[in-house]
Chain A
């Protein structure tokens, strides 16, 4: 889960990293008051979980409180790369002498964390990294020891950062470890004309697996309350909405991803990713089916289950149960293989629903579901 900039700022501050004075608000009038309290001049920054805010007009410098209010009015409600701006952070401006880039990031290749640092921070850091990789230092961190002063000195040296940044590097590592973060990034970390080291902007990505011991931030809420995604989350299902017309339900992330690809290969587009997981019960299957059927874009549904741990008769039982709970208005193609598949197929045969058909292979099932979706009459034309 990504944090908002103001949440990252708060974490940095709690760990003793110097950050600009700032407050968050969703009201332009309040933005004016905050700017006044900060001394008049202020930076008004959109709070969205995406990059490229500045280029999209989501960051404005205000010369006085009235301008801060105006800026907030313009930024609030903006759409930045599909993210609606619901709040702005009003911060004191800094007179920047030098911009750095520092981060700790998970490196999957080595199975550990890397310190990444550059004396050429700012919005162009990705171009710097692409054009002149030697300007970006990448130093593996030993997980057994972490980052203490000696390591931080090595990182600063390698990147050409002034020794003043060492303290920030050590504290930033503490943020990473204590918060169970996968990424902590400060860009830019600046030296002001007064010689202070300040974390001007930050990004923190937390590990969803660690939520059990990091309850503070809570679960992320889906953007649209009454969507299939919100319903899936409420039922604890692993669901991702896509923009096609074939609803897909399967067991195991790999098999479901593969099923989406096979559907696409048949000339249709998958409407979702829904993994009912290993050992899924009839209840989970019924919940999954009701979520997928609630998506108005879905024209046919493909259930692809390979019973390893999952018992196919439990899956079939879930489908039969769902048929009793929700009125099926879209064709359903079911492919069951593996553990208890024969019993599962027999259960579905016995239910003999006119809109439910079975297929024996994954490719055959996908072809059939794709054909049903693309041949289905448009809504309103039925009957």
Chain B
């Protein structure tokens, strides 16, 4: 099952013929993603060969959808054109738009997420690494060979921290890993992913990675307390970040006393989430919880 993305997903790539688009389309195909086409009005009707696999280029998202039944798009177009690209995808009825592009103006992010919401399109990102359902499909730039299929779900604001945790827990494997992005305005929240993982029969445990800025983690904590029965393990980055400085991600900023790592950690712990102090300790919490659950199962089995 997994969430949002499966081996049935048919994926278009907007900006496929650019340098980044080419590089990552090749990787996505190698990871088993069913890339059914690229979109570029100036190269419509052409094809691109990726190591023996021929991928058609369509003039518009709508044409791509009509010809292939695509339901996912991965967007690599430059920041100035990203809003138009997502609006086009939403208008063409695409269900999931994964926006990798970094540096999209906030007003454009507000407009594109609002438009997509109104059209019933889920946006992941912008400025995110995308999502991967290991062994099935990879939509974005997450390296597919770090980990294997498993039963841990992961949602994260940070790409490299996602990779770090995937690596630490590579022997257990993951159902789906979603990089939601570190911009102030994103289309999919921690809460959206928590809800989807809670409902996913193939996910046993959820890892939530957050960082300074905003209050998404605090809101996620409140949601967990009310609605999530699966175990959740958290990690928050940015305890040493100074107030008022943007730490790499546009959204990673402590303003006055709000958005601090401490407040987020405390909110999560108050909701029963185990929060690691380092990525490695976070992975250890996951192992402890799953081992504990396995022992409980064994005990239950012995009693039966």
Chain A residues closer than 8 Å to B277, beta-carbon distance = 261, 265
How many residues in B have their beta carbons less than 8 Å from beta carbons of A? 62
* B111 close to A (CB within 8 Å): yes
* B142, B187, B279: the one within 8 Å of A258 (CB): B279
Query: Is B252 touching A143 in the complex (CB atoms < 8 A)?
Result: no
- Give the complex CA separation of A338 and B143 in angstroms: 9
* A301 close to B (CB within 8 Å): no
- Give the complex CA separation of A207 and B186 in angstroms: 15
Q: How many A-B residue pairs have CB under 8 A?
A: 172
- Give the complex CA separation of A273 and B254 in angstroms: 15
Interface digits, B105-134 against A, CB 8 Å rule (1 contact, 0 not)?
111011101110010000000000100000
* B21 close to A (CB within 8 Å): no
Closest to A252 in B: B160
Q: Interface with B: A23-31, A62-70, A107-115, which one?
A: A107-115
Say yes or no: A238-B142 contact (C-beta < 8 A), given A106-B185, A213-B105.
no
Nearest chain B CB to A230 CB, angstrom units: 16
Q: Interface with A: B1-9, B194-202, B238-246, which one?
A: B238-246
- Give the complex CA separation of A256 and B280 in angstroms: 15
SS class of chain A's interface: helix, strand, loop or mixed? mixed
Query: Is A273 touching B248 in the complex (CB atoms < 8 A)?
Result: yes
Query: Is B240 touching A210 in the complex (CB atoms < 8 A)?
Result: no
Query: Is A255 touching B141 in the complex (CB atoms < 8 A)?
Result: no
Q: List which A207-258 residues lie within 8 A (CB) of chain B.
A: 207-210, 212-213, 238, 240, 242, 250-258
Query: Is A111 touching B167 in the complex (CB atoms < 8 A)?
Result: no
* B247 close to A (CB within 8 Å): yes
Chain B residues closer than 8 Å to A306, beta-carbon distance = 160, 163-164, 167
Closest to B159 in A: A252
Interface digits, B184-226 against A, CB 8 Å rule (1 contact, 0 not)?
1111000000000000000000000101111110010000000
Query: Is A207 touching B106 in the complex (CB atoms < 8 A)?
Result: yes
Give the interface size bracket for A toward B: 35 or more
* B106, B114, B141, B242: the one within 8 Å of A278 (CB): B141
Query: Is A257 touching B238 in the complex (CB atoms < 8 A)?
Result: yes
- Give the complex CA separation of A257 and B182 in angstroms: 12
* A10 close to B (CB within 8 Å): no
Q: Point out which of A208, A260, A261, A339 has the most chain B C-beta atoms below 10 A from its C-beta.
A: A261
Query: Is A253 touching B247 in the complex (CB atoms < 8 A)?
Result: yes
Closest to B210 in A: A254
Query: Is A208 touching B143 in the complex (CB atoms < 8 A)?
Result: no
Nearest chain A CB to B29 CB, angstrom units: 16
* B104 close to A (CB within 8 Å): yes
* B79 close to A (CB within 8 Å): yes
* A112, A210, A254, A262: the one within 8 Å of B105 (CB): A210
* B176 close to A (CB within 8 Å): no
- Give the complex CA separation of A258 and B165 in angstroms: 12
Nearest chain B CB to A107 CB, angstrom units: 9
Q: List which B80-118 residues lie within 8 A (CB) of chain A.
A: 80, 103-107, 109-111, 113-115, 118
* B156 close to A (CB within 8 Å): yes
* B263 close to A (CB within 8 Å): no
Chain B residues closer than 8 Å to A262, beta-carbon distance = 278
Say yes or no: A238-B248 contact (C-beta < 8 A), given A180-B105, A265-B277.
yes
Query: Nearest 10 A-B pairs (CB), nearest first?
Result: A254-B158, A253-B248, A252-B160, A255-B160, A210-B105, A257-B237, A254-B161, A108-B214, A258-B237, A253-B249
14 additional A-B pairs beyond A209-B105, A255-B158, A337-B164, beta carbons within 8 Å, are A106-B110, A108-B185, A177-B107, A180-B107, A209-B106, A213-B105, A252-B158, A254-B158, A258-B158, A260-B239, A260-B241, A261-B277, A278-B160, A306-B160
B residues sitting closer than 8 Å to A (CB atoms) are 79-80, 103-107, 109-111, 113-115, 118, 129, 141-143, 146, 156-164, 167, 182, 184-187, 209, 211-216, 219, 235, 237-242, 245-252, 261, 277-280
